[in-house]
Structure formats: structure tokens, C-alpha cells
Structure 1
Amino acid sequence: MPKVGIVYNDLKPIACKVALELQEKLNACGWDVVTTTGCGGLLGYSQPSHPVCYTPIEQLIPPEFDADLTFAIVLGGDGTVLSAARQLAPCGIPLLAVNTGHMGFLTELYLNQLSPALEQVMKGDYTIEKRSMLTVQLYRDKTLLWEALSLNEMVIHREPLTSMCHFEIKIGHHASVDIAADGVIVSTPTGSTAYSLSSGGPVVTPDVPVLQLAPICPHSLASRALVFSDTEPVNIYPATPNRMIMVVDGNGGCYVLPEDRIHVKRSPYSAHFIRLQSTEFFRVLREKLGWGLPHIAKPTSVELP
């Protein structure tokens, strides 16, 4: 019996309703169905008094979700997709992402397109697009305090009401650099259209094997976004006496003290997304972010009534 998974946002009534309907429909078609909520992939927050507070990457896989799954359906917005990617990337399960949220930049289709799309996927008529991910780890001396799998980005920034911070950053074998800024972002190509884009970084197409370093509100005009090979690991050392905060994919993280080290590298795991038609990244940029739309000039004169 073929097996399929459903990951849904249990905070959205429409996602809960569709998940139940899908389970009944797939069972009637002879599929074994397992379900879980997106909250299983949410990352916790460690505290200074309790710094070791994380679930190892491989232990986020939900019960009964394994390599026997043909695919998994994700019902939610981009946050649910990010969560599902953290949960299922270690077992390489392809994700069919269905938008029940707002932007839905990472989703493949809308709810009104689900029925024909599901029939297409059940026939095996689709392609797989792989998206690179990050392994983010926080060390104090040689002790691993926190780690996470990330599809978008890792951000380290100052706490509110504190001054600008300094970061000593070493990329691969290259010489260390010092950046003075409110924070820094290390992102994947997928994350280049998220926080990194808002911080002035370039858009990177998903097939390019690179990572990106983008300062947040840098103090110097010389500190600008840097794109480099994803074979190069990144080590970030806080060069400031102030405590800082690290956030991964916008939903969890930990405090970073001056003696800590953040280690970021391309993960051995990739997110696998089901594509029902030829991937056209520029079309997604245009539809979701308005990139490349023709400029419409203002009239040279206005007639008064």
C-alpha cells in the first residue's frame, strides 16, 4: 500500500478541515496516510540560565514519517513549509506545498488547484526541485549548546536597547573580517528573497550553489552583502561585550554570549519540493514580489475638472 504524509498548520481552521478531507480521500484511494502538525518543526528558545535547549536535527522527524512515504502534502503558509522542511528533509521526503496562508512564496499551488494537482502527483507526473539548507550550531568552548536545520537563513543581531555590535567573521580558509552592524544574516539562495532581501542583499536563483552574508544596518559603506561558495563554512565570533540573539528561519533561536562561536555550513540534507510544471523562478518573483513588472510613467499633465 502506498504511503503519504500530511503536515498542516493546526492554528488555521481551513488547513485542519482540508487535512481531514484529504485523509479520507486518500484512504478511499488505497493510500496509507500519516499526519502531523507543523508545530513539530518549530524551534525552541534557549535561555541564559538554561542554554542547552534544542532537539537534535534528526530527532525532529515525526513518528511514522520515513523513507517509505511517496510524498507529503503541506497545508499552510511559508512558516509551515519551513517547519515541514526541517522535519522531513533528513529523510528526503518530497513536499507538495499548498498555500492556505498569505504570501505563500514557497508553496506550489493554491487550495482551488489541489484536486487536479493531487491526481497528477498520485500518478507520479511531477519533478523534484532540491533546495539547499543550512546546519546552524552554537558552541561554547567545545560544547554544542544549540543547533537547527534552516531553509532560509540564520540571523544574529543585537538585543533591543543595546548599541551596535561587532562581529568577527571567518569564511572558509579566508582571512577574518570585522563587521560593525546591528546584525548579520547568512542565507541560502531560498532565503535570499526573505530577510536578506530586506537588508539589501541580492536575489539568488535557487540552483546556484552559494551562500550569502548580509550585514544589517552596517556602520560602514564598505560592508555590503557578500556571495560565496556554499562549500565554505562560516564561523562568527561576537566581538562585543554585549549579549546578542540568534534566530533561525524567523521562529526560534538562542542567546549568544561574547565567548560563543556560531558555526554555519551547508547541510548534508536538502529540501525536496514537488513541481507540477517547469520551474520558472522569475515568474514567481514577478507574481509574489512584483519583480520585473513594466514601469508605468506618470502623466505629464493632469486635467482639472
Structure 2
Amino acid sequence: MPKAGIIYNDDKPVACRVAKQWQDKLHRYGWDVCIATGVGGILGYSTPEKPMCHTSVEQLTPVGFDADMNFALVLGGDGTVLAACRQVAACGTPLLTVNTGHMGFLTETYLNQLPQAMKKVLAGDYQIEERTMLRVQVLREDRVTWEALCLNEMVLHREPLTSMCHFEIEVGRHAPVDIAADGVIISTPTGSTAYGLSAGGPVITPDVPVLQLVPICPHSLASRALVFANSEPVTIFPANPNRLVMVMDGNAGCYVLPEDRVRVERSRYSARFIRLQHPEFFHVLREKLGWGLPHVAKPTSVELP
């Protein structure tokens, strides 16, 4: 019996309704169906009193999800997609992502197109696109105090009402650099269209095997975004007396103390997305972010009525 999964945002009534509808339909088609909410992929926050607030990636997998699962249907916005990527990372399940939110930059289709999309998926008429994910660890001496997997980016920044920070950063075996800024972003190509783009970093197409480092509000004209091979691990030493805040994919994080260091590297797991046609990244940029739209000149004269 073929096996499918459904991960949905239980805060959205429409996602709950559609999840139940497709669970029933797939059962009628002879599929074994496992269903879960995206809550299990939201990592939560640690505090100075409870720094050990992480769960291994392998323990995030919902009950019934495994390597034998053909695909999983994800119903929600980008936050649900990010959570689902963590939940199925260990079993490598391909995801058909359906937008029930707002931007939906990471989603493949919309609710009104879901019947046609599912027809193609059930017929095996699709491609799988793999996206790089990051493993992020906070280490105190040689002990891991926090760990997470992310698809977009890791952000390390100052707390409100504190001064600008200094970061000593080592990329692979290269000489360390010092960056004075409000914070730093390490992102994947997928994350280059998220916080990294807002902070002035370049857009990177998903198929390029690189990561990028983007300073946030740097105090130097020389501190600009850096793109480097994703085979290079990154170690960040907070060179200032105040604690910092680290956030992953915008929904989880922890405090980083002066004696800590942060290690970021490409994960051995990747996000696997179902594509119903050949991936066209420039079309997504145009549709979601308005990139490359033609310039419309103002008229040279206006005729008054």
C-alpha cells in the first residue's frame, strides 16, 4: 500500500478542513495516510536559566513518517513549510507545498489548483528539487548547549538597548575577520530571498552550492555580503561583553553568551520539494517580489479635461 503524509497549520481553519478532506480522499484511493500539525517543527526558545532547549533532528519526525513515505502534502504558509522541512529531514520525504497563507514564497501551488496538482503527484508526474539546509550549534567549551536545523538562515544579533557588536568570524581555514555590526546573517541560497535580501545581500539561485554571510547595519563601508562555498563551515565568536540573541528561520532561537561560539555548516539533510514543472526561479522572483518587471515611463505630457 502506498503511503502519504499531511502536515498542516492547525491555526488556519482552511488548512484543517483541506487536510481532513485529502486524508479521506487518499484513503479512498487506497493510500495509507499519516497526518500531523507543523507544531512539531517549531523549535521554541531557550533562556539563560534553561539553555538546553534543543531536540535532535531525528526526534522531530512525526509518528508514522518514515523513509517509505512517497510524499507529504504541506498546507500552510512559509512558516509551516519551514517547520515541515525539519520534521521530515531525517526521512527525506518529498513535500508538495500548498499556500494557505500570504506570501507563500516557498510553496509550489495554491488551494484552487490542488486537485490538478494532486492528480499529477499521484500519477508520479513531477520532479524533486533539493535545497541546502544548515546545522547550527551553540557550543560552550566542547559542549553543545543548543542545536537546530534551518532552511533559510541563522541570525545572530544584539539585544535591544545594547550597543553595536563585534563578531570574529572564521570561514573554513581562511583567516578570521572582524565585523562590527548590529548582527550577522548566515543564509542558504533559499534564505537569500528572506532576511539576507532585506539586509542588502544578493539573491542566489537555489542550485548554486554556496552560503552567504551578510552583516546587519555594518559600521564600515568595507563590510559587505560575502558568498562562499557551502563546504566551508563557519565559526562565530561574539567579541563583546553582552549576550546576543540567535534566531533560526524566524521562529526559534536562544541566547548566546560571551563565552559561547556558534558553528554553522551545511547539514547532511536537505529539503526535498515536489515541482510540478521544471523549476523556474526567475518566475517566482517576478511573481512574489516583482523582480524584473518592465519599467513604465511617466507620460511626457498630460491632457487636461
Query: What is the TM-score of this pair, normalised by structure 1?
Result: 0.99
- 1:301: Cα distance to partner? 3.0
Please give the alpha-carbon distance, in whole angstroms, between the structure 1 residues aligned to 2:220 and 2:15: 46
Task: Give the Cα separation in 1 of the matches to 2:197 and 2:222.
Answer: 18
Cross-structure match for 1:229: 229
- How far is 1:183 from its partner? 0.2
Q: Which residue of 2 is the match for residue 107 of structure 1? A: 107
What is the CA-CA distance between 1:210 and the residue it aligns to? 0.1
Residue of structure 2 in register with 1:282 after alignment: 282
Displacement after TM superposition at 1:189 (Å): 0.3
Aligned length: 305
Indicate the residue corresponding to 1:119 in structure 2. Answer: 119
| Alpha-carbon distance in structure 2 between the residues aligned to 1:304 and 1:225 | 49
User: Could you tell me how far apart the structure 2 residues matched to 1:29 and 1:224 are?
Assistant: 54
Within 2, Cα distance between the matches of 1:298 and 1:174?
50
Secondary structure of the corresponding residue to residue 80 of structure 1: helix
Residue identity opposite 1:254 in structure 2? C
**3-state DSSP class of the match of 1:223?**
coil
- Report the CA distance between 1:302 and its aligned residue: 3.1
> Contact 2:57/2:89 (CA < 8 Å) preserved in 1?
no
1:220-248 CA distances to partner (integer Å, 9 max, x unpaired)?
01000000000000000000001110000
Offset from partner CA, 1:170-212 (integer Å, 9 cap, x none): 0000000000000000000000000000000000000000000
TM-superposed CA distance for 1:89, in Å, is 1.5
Aligned partner of 1:208: which letter? Answer: V
Q: Give, in whole Å, the separation in 2 of the partners of 1:138 and 1:302.
A: 61
Match of 2:6?
A: 6
- Matches of 1:54 and 1:301, distance apart in 2: 63
Amino-acid identity (%): 72
The 3-state SS of whatever aligns with 2:131 is strand
Give 1:44 shift.
1.4
Q: What does residue 50 of structure 1 align with?
A: 50
Residue aligning to 1:220: 220
Counterparts of residues 15-164 of structure 1 (less than 5 Å)? 15-164=15-164
Name structure 2 gaps, 5 residues minimum. none
Q: Distance in 1 between matches of 2:163 and 2:301?
A: 48
Residue 56 of structure 1: how far off its partner (Å): 1.1
Could you tell me whether the CA contact under 8 Å between 1:47 and 1:254 is conserved in 2? yes
* Contact 1:57-1:147 at 8 Å conserved across structures: no
Instruction: Show structure 1 runs of 4+ deviating over 4 A.
Output: none
Q: Equivalent residue for 1:185?
A: 185
Question: What CA distance in whole angstroms lies between the structure 1 residues aligned with 2:76 and 2:31?
Answer: 22
Q: When the two structures are superposed, what TM-score results if normalisation uses the length of structure 2? A: 0.99
Q: Where does residue 171 of structure 1 map in the other structure? A: 171
Where 2:45 maps in the other structure, the secondary structure is coil
1:302 aligns with 2:302: yes
RMSD, matched Cα: 0.7
Q: CA deviation at 1:119?
A: 1.1
